[in-house]
């Protein structure tokens, strides 16, 4: 069975600065003095203009990129590289096309050297994400939403303390996206895993999050942290939901752009 809930860890980001160089050697400051704390079991979204460093910050928490200044911690342990305690889900499911869904989900356990007879939890996570009956299927036989469910199961099977979601629903159609948002909430509530989501969709951030971290344009900094005081389940047409959306649009300076903006940045 899937193990007990309450696995979430805390994330602390202390004074992060990240500088890249363009093809001409000019320095581009992506992130500057970013400070952030995420509490155990919290679901937090990062939003902000394109290029503000949201995904860069997520990759540093995952251990796939490194700051030029500052430090990052999972609980009291400094993050120095990738580790299975920090799972990452991308916009593209990145499943191995030659493996079945079962074997795709199990790949992290294989990489850790866990024997086949100790991988019984693989089926539990396949069931958790609603893919029971498709464990013998191959990625090309699944819809986009089903493939993303498999990617979630693959990240969760290692029982990470923190699940990092880099626009995981961005490629899905609107109806599938809303269904997957509900699935993420269900998994989060059942598992107690800390989740950090990068999204360009303000409605998605409000619908899912305990707090929303608004970042400035490059160089990316934390502009404002917004608590989401709405109960669950949340109604997207509730006046408080709409009021919070308007507030975020104002912070991001898009409030006067008109309806053509929709809810995306």
Q: In what order do the strands lie in the sheet with 27-38?
A: 27-38, 11-21, 69-74, 77-78
- Rounded to an integer, what distance in angstroms lies between the CA atom of residue 233 and that of residue 21? 44
pLDDT tens-digit readout, 61-109: 999 999 999 999 999 999 999 999 999 999 889 999 999 999 999 998 8
* pLDDT above 70 (res 234): yes
pLDDT tens-digit readout, 163-216: 999 999 988 899 999 999 999 999 999 889 999 999 999 999 999 999 999 999
User: pLDDT higher for 256 or 107?
Assistant: 107
The per-residue pLDDT for 7 is 75
The per-residue pLDDT for 259 is 39
Number of C-alpha atoms within 13 angstroms, CB side, residue 186?
13
The band of 114, judged by pLDDT with boundaries at 50, 70 and 90, is confident
The per-residue pLDDT for 6 is 55
pLDDT tens-digit readout, 2-32: 444 557 999 999 999 999 988 888 899 999 9
The per-residue pLDDT for 171 is 85
* pLDDT above 90 (res 119): no
The residues spanned by each domain of the chain are 1-82+163-265, 86-159
The per-residue pLDDT for 23 is 84
Q: What is the DSSP string of 121-178?
A: HHHHHHHHTT-TT-TT--GGGS-HHHHHHHHHHHHHTT--SEEEEESTTTTS-HHHHH
* pLDDT above 60 (res 38): yes
The band of 264, judged by pLDDT with boundaries at 50, 70 and 90, is very low
Residue 22 contacts residue 35 (beta carbons within 8 Å): no
Please state which architecture CATH assigns to domain 1-82+163-265. Answer: 3-Layer(aba) Sandwich (3.40)
Nearest to 103 by CA among 135, 134, 128: 135
Angle at 67 between CA 112 and CA 92, to 5 degrees: 55
The per-residue pLDDT for 25 is 83
The band of 59, judged by pLDDT with boundaries at 50, 70 and 90, is very high
- Helix ranges (H only) for the chain are 54-62, 101-111, 121-128, 144-156, 174-191, 202-208, 239-251
The band of 254, judged by pLDDT with boundaries at 50, 70 and 90, is low
Residue 229 contacts residue 43 (beta carbons within 8 Å): no
């Amino acid at each position: 069975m899937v193990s007990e809930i309450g696995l979430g860890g805390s994330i602390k980001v202390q004074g992060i600065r990240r500088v890249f160089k363009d093809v001409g050697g000019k320095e581009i400051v992506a992130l500057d003095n970013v400070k952030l704390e995420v509490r155990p079991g919290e679901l937090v979204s990062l939003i902000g203009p394109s290029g503000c460093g949201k995904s860069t910050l997520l990759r540093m928490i995952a251990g796939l990129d490194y700051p030029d200044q500052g430090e990052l911690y999972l609980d009291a342990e400094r993050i120095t590289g990738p580790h299975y305690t920090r799972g990452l889900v991308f916009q593209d499911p990145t499943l191995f096309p030659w493996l079945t869904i079962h074997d795709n989900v199990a790949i992290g356990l294989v990489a850790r050297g866990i024997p086949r007879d100790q991988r019984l939890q693989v089926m539990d996570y396949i069931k958790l994400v609603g893919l029971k009956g498709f464990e013998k299927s191959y990625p090309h036989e699944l819809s986009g939403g089903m493939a993303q469910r498999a990617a979630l199961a693959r990240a969760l099977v290692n029982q990470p303390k923190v699940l990092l979601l880099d626009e995981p629903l961005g490629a899905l159609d609107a109806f599938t996206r809303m269904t997957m948002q509900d699935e993420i909430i269900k998994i989060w509530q059942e598992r107690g895993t800390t989740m950090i989501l990068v999204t360009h969709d303000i409605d998605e951030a409000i619908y899912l999050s305990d707090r929303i971290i608004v970042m400035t344009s490059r160089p990316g900094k934390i502009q404002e942290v917004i608590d989401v005081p709405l109960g669950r389940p949340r109604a997207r047409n509730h006046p408080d939901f709409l009021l919070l959306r308007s507030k975020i649009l104002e912070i991001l300076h898009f409030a006067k752009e008109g309806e053509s903006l929709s809810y995306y940045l």
